[in-house]
Structures are given as structure tokens and as C-alpha cells.
Amino acid sequence: MRYDTAVFLLILFLLTACQQPELVNGGFLAGHYAFVPHDNSVHLVDISNADNPHFVRHMDLPGPVSTVEIFGQRAFIHYVTPYPGGGYSPGGMQIVDVSDPTEPVLLGQMAQSDFTNELLVTNDRVFRARYDQIETLDVQDPANIRRELVFGRSANALAINGNALVAVWGGCSLRTGSCSAQLTRYDLTNLEEITITGELSNPAMPGFDLLLLENYALVGGFGVWVTDLTQSPLVVNHSTAFTGNPYYETQLAHQGNILYALQNDTLHLFDTTNLPTLVEVGSVTLPTVFANLAVRGDYAYITGKNPVGGPGGLLVVDVREAERPYLASFYDASQP
């Protein structure tokens, strides 16, 4: 799942779709391993012992790694290209077979002329969220990736349920501090004529991440806001705002009846039993600001690079008791 373009950390984000008939997003976990971006490489970290995650091997990339998103047995790895005088330009994407995570195999790659905010993979089609529109890619043959369609509007995050694709876009102004978001629902029944079937503007909160639960869209953006997708017109049914810096993008994950929302250096846990209402039941302050969130079983996993310096790596949070989550361990990628 991705910080703003100023720092070019494009978040990936895990969206666990326990209540969805289809996978709605990738993550950075495969088996008992985590794929942790670090500079121009990805570290494979063994997380079988949550109290002591340890380095196994690394994969080199052509440029600094921004996101790793795993769908099935394939990892989609994005990297950027540094400018000699500072800053970054779009780099490319590699597709890697991780059926055996300890022996990754490069299947294909493609250069990119713009930044990827998020990927969503269904069968052999990839939906790529960009800053201007949404693009589809045919990855049936990873050695020959084909661009198919470009449609719709700008998107930070995507989620899918059947023939309905939901996209969210938004952010906060560095000059004024004001925030806003746009949620758009598309009908994918006919890919030759994709139509908009619903839209919602939120002038109060940004839209950085998205997941679907039952009939609801949950949007992460300096807090969480919820809309019932069966309504017409769409409206914001519930929202809860966070404090702190709104420019670090909220990331969401869901497991059981708990929503996990990562914002700045805090992981918030909400009870989703009575949607659209969210009730915060616990939180934990983390030692650093990381970008990517995944939840599996008893633990939440958070990877990234500290945006103000300091080591990147992997944080492991024990969430067995939602009311009392705590940091279980930290893998420092600078000292594997």
C-alpha cells in the first residue's frame, strides 16, 4: 500500500477481505515470511517466531523499492528511479514467483512512466491506481505484460466486489491544510464501456486507503469514514477523526470483527460489529512511522522506511487482546 509523492513512498497496503467473496488487495506476507522493502532491495524475513523475526535473504531491485504486493503466488514489486540531483522519477514493476519464498523467480517486468498508488489483482488482470486514472494490465504472460484499458478518475486505493469496482482519491493541501476525498463506484460488467454507478465527495477528510465489508466502504484518511454502498445517493454514514499529522496516509486492514487503522505512529483498533458505527477498543503507539499494514492471526505486521531518517524494517504487534495491543518485536533492516 505509500506516502505522498513528495517522498515517493507508495503504500501498499494489506486489505484483508474476510467478508468479501474476492480478494480485494495484496499484502507483503507469504507463508511464514514477510517481504520488507529496504533501499534497493527486498528483505525476506522469517516471522514464524513473532518475538524474533530474522533475516533469510534479500532480492536486489533496479531502484529504491516503494511497495511489495503479493497476490497468490506472485509478488508485484514497485521501485522508483533516483534523480542524480535528488528526488525520484517513476521506475518500474517486477512480477516475481514466490511459491517458494526462499527461492523467488523473476517472471517479468515493465517500465512505468507514472507512479503506482496501488494494485488490485483479479485472475490475470491487474487494476493499477494512478494519480490521473485507473489502468488495467493483462499479466497472463508476465514476460509480456500488456496495457489494456485506461478509464475513470484519479485513485489512491481500489477494492472490488463482483462487477463493482470502488476507488477512492483524496489528500490534504500542504498550503492550506484542508482535506477532501472522492469515492467512485464503477460497473465492470462491460469492460468496453465502464460506467460510474455512484460517487461521493467528502470535503472534510482525505481518502488514502479503502476496504469493503458487507455493504459498506471503509475509507482511511486521517481517520476512518464509512458509507453504505446500497444507498442512493451515497453519503458519509459515520466518521472518526485522528489527531496528529494528516499527511501520513491512513492504512486499513480487517480481521474477524476488528478494523485496524494505522495513522502516523499509532495503530488503532475498532469494533466493526455494528457497522456503519465504529467503536475504538484499543490502540498502541509505535516507536516509528511506517507505511504498510498487514494482519494475520495474533499479530499485525507493519513495514516501511522512517520518513525522517532512522532504520526501516518490520514492526510486529501482538493483537490477541484488542483492548491491549503491544509491540512484540522490531526487525531493523539496516542490521539484518
pLDDT tens, residue by residue, 56-86: 999 999 998 888 999 989 999 999 998 888 7
For residue 293, how many C-alpha atoms fall within 13 Å in the half-sphere facing its CB?
A: 29
pLDDT at 57: 95
DSSP H or E stretch at residue 107: strand 105-111
pLDDT at 210: 95
- Architecture (CATH level 2) of domain 29-332: 7 Propeller (2.130)
| Domain range annotation of the chain | 29-332
pLDDT in tens, 272-319: 999 999 999 999 999 988 889 999 999 999 998 766 566 689 999 999
Sign of the C-alpha dihedral, residues 34, 38, 40, 46?
negative
DSSP H or E stretch at residue 283: strand 279-285
3-state DSSP of 11-58: CCECCCCCCCCCCCCCECEECCEEEEEECCEEEEEECCCCCCCEEEEE
CA distance 56 to 43: 7
What single-letter amino acid sits at 285?
T
pLDDT at 55: 96
DSSP H or E stretch at residue 76: strand 74-82
- Contact call for residues 92 and 86 (beta carbons, < 8 A): no
- How many angstroms from the chain centroid is the CA of residue 262? 11
| Residue 269 confidence (pLDDT) above 50 | yes
pLDDT in tens, 207-241: 999 999 989 999 998 889 999 999 999 999 999 98
pLDDT at 178: 86
Mean pLDDT, to the nearest integer, of 306-333? Answer: 88
pLDDT in tens, 13-71: 333 333 332 333 358 999 899 999 988 999 999 999 999 999 999 999 999 888 899 99
Residues 6 or more apart whose Cβ sits within 8 Å of residue 57: 43, 44, 102
Within 10 angstroms of residue 281's Cβ, the number of other Cβ atoms is 17
Label residue 264 left, alpha or beta by phi (over 0 means left) and psi (-120 to 50 means alpha). Answer: left
